[in-house]
């Protein structure tokens, strides 16, 4: 969670629990933290405890997949579906780049517009 979001909750970042934890981004970038905070999250009839790492190096708030599953935001088999190998029948040695690009755009049509531009926010 960003310091900005933490402040928007009416909380004082000077009162964070000290931690040496570092957030590791998908691109292996290390994001330092100012501390951590304990919250109880509620969605519908589900309540769960959650620890948030607070950082002044990014904006917004992220919650991990386990928390999403505990809150029933994503279905339980979601992780198993993500772990399935979904290979496209491509042979880079024999297929040209246009063939590969076309196959990828067809396979992931819900993710890209007709020009190959990603259409969903990250």
Exposed e or buried b per residue across 41-74, where buried means at least 16 C-beta atoms within 10 angstroms of its C-beta: eeeeeeeeeeebbbbeeeeeeeeeeebeebbeeb
Task: Indicate the SS3 state at residue 23.
Answer: strand
Query: Of 3, 66, 5, 6, whose CA–CA distance to 32 is shortest?
Result: 3
* Total number of residues shown for the chain: 122
Query: Based on C-alpha coordinates, what's the Rg of the chain?
Result: 20
The pTM (predicted TM-score) of the whole model is: 0.57
Report domain extents, the chain: 3-81, 87-116
pLDDT digits (tens, 9 = 90+) for 7-20: 999 999 999 999 98
pLDDT digits (tens, 9 = 90+) for 64-88: 778 888 888 877 666 566 555 555 5
């Amino acid at each position: 969670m960003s310091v900005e979001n933490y402040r928007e909750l009416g909380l004082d970042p000077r009162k964070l629990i000290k931690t040496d934890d570092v957030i590791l981004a998908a691109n292996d970038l290390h994001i330092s933290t100012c501390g951590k905070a304990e919250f109880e999250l509620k969605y519908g009839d589900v309540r769960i405890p959650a620890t948030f790492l607070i950082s002044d190096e990014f904006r917004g708030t992220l919650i991990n997949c386990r928390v999403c599953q505990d809150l029933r935001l994503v279905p339980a088999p979601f992780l198993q579906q993500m772990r399935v190998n979904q290979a496209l029948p491509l042979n880079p040695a024999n297929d040209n780049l246009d063939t590969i690009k076309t196959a990828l755009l067809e396979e992931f049509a819900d993710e890209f517009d007709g020009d190959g531009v990603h259409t969903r926010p990250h």
